[in-house]
Amino acid sequence: MESDLGEDLQLVEITDESILVNDSTLSKCLLNKDVKDLPICLVSVIGEERKGKSFLLNYLIRRLRNLDCGDQDWMGAEDEDLQGFKYRPGIHTTTQGVFIWSKPFLMDTDQGKMAIFLVDTEGCNSFEREKNVNIQLSALSMLLSSYLIFNIASKIDPTDLEFLEMFLDVAQKVGEVVNLDPIQHLDILVRDWDRGHTHGKEVGREYLDATRQRLASSRTRYQPFMKKELSKAQCYLLPHPGEAIACSSTGHSKEMTERFRDFLVEYFRCVLDSLPMSGRRDMSGSILTCSQLFNQIKVGAEGGFGRRC
């Protein structure tokens, strides 16, 4: 039975290396009478496996449940178990396919209420999948989202950019079928940054600017749309959370280092500032309602990125 607070539902699964979009999950989430006519913002986190994507989303769930709380009050008790998308420490993959949090979070915007859904995606380098399936999963998650977080470890390296370019290539082609641009908003979130004592948004901007300059002067060739998306991206640097919480199965905030906690709070403040302007738009710039995005996904499922189950 679903909790009143919501649950993680499988939106996309893989069967015999085929991508199956779950129509019942789509209907339950996007056609709910309370939200079907509201504008939708879909926040998706993609990146390599075992790099803390589900952990990040679960703290974002906690933040969105407590929109009226300031400072760090939204974190709750220091020994409160972290609930939400399934996660666990260790080497084994937890997320299989793509999951959506069933209960939307309602946020006030200048145009009225907006429904915010969160999406968790299997790691793009999973050993259990063919490479093209990994790419399609992340590309699909990218295409559905209006606020995309590309979660990477330690630094931006060529492998990260190659993955991003492959996701973009697939998402752009499918986007032409379903009338959706591949990226509206892109955060590059660098976890465990240890190449300096400063972290956050401003130093992240400087780091991304330096990365763009290095790309411009290198012999590596990226497609024009890749360079365009990077020019619009934002970058945020997070410190290591500490060994205690990295190995924890409870996710207690008291296990974080104080420095990580402070910068996580600041990052979510940046996210919340941007969400009211991040409703999902079609290629003409019109903001989509939940039911309209449902129809777009059905078109893609039937003709672009898989079949419905």
Does residue 255 form part of some domain?
Answer: no
Q: What is the β-pairing status of strands 40-47 and 112-121?
A: parallel
Measure the CA–CA gap between 167 and 182, rounded to whole angstroms. 9
The arithmetic mean of pLDDT across residues 299-306, rounded, is 66
Does residue 282 form part of some domain?
Answer: yes
286 in Cβ contact with 39 (< 8 Å): no
Distances (CA, A) of 104 to 36, 91, 101, 120: 11, 30, 7, 14
Does residue 226 form part of some domain?
Answer: no
Measure the CA–CA gap between 293 and 281, rounded to whole angstroms. 9
Measure the CA–CA gap between 129 and 17, rounded to whole angstroms. 8
- Of the two residues 79 and 97, the one the predictor is more confident about is 79
Question: What is the pLDDT at residue 254?
Answer: 96
- Domain at 301, CATH number: 3.40.50.300
Question: What is the pLDDT at residue 94?
Answer: 59
Question: What is the pLDDT at residue 214?
Answer: 87
Q: Is 78 helix (H, G, I), strand (E, B) or coil?
A: coil
Does residue 256 form part of some domain?
Answer: no
Does residue 206 form part of some domain?
Answer: no
Residue (of 195, 169, 185, 21) closest to 100 by Cα position:
21
The arithmetic mean of pLDDT across residues 224-253, rounded, is 92
Give residue 19's pLDDT band: very low, low, confident or very high (50, 70, 90). confident
Does residue 122 form part of some domain?
Answer: yes
Residue (of 266, 265, 275, 281) closest to 108 by Cα position:
275
The arithmetic mean of pLDDT across residues 247-269, rounded, is 95
Does residue 29 form part of some domain?
Answer: yes
Measure the CA–CA gap between 34 and 36, rounded to whole angstroms. 6
Mind listing the pLDDT tens digit for each residue in 231-245? 999 999 999 999 999
Does residue 141 form part of some domain?
Answer: yes
Domains identified in the chain, total number: 1
Note the pTM of the prediction, 2 decimals. 0.93
Question: What is the pLDDT at residue 138?
Answer: 92
Residue 141: give the domain boundaries: 8-187+275-308
Residue (of 75, 78, 118, 62) closest to 95 by Cα position:
118
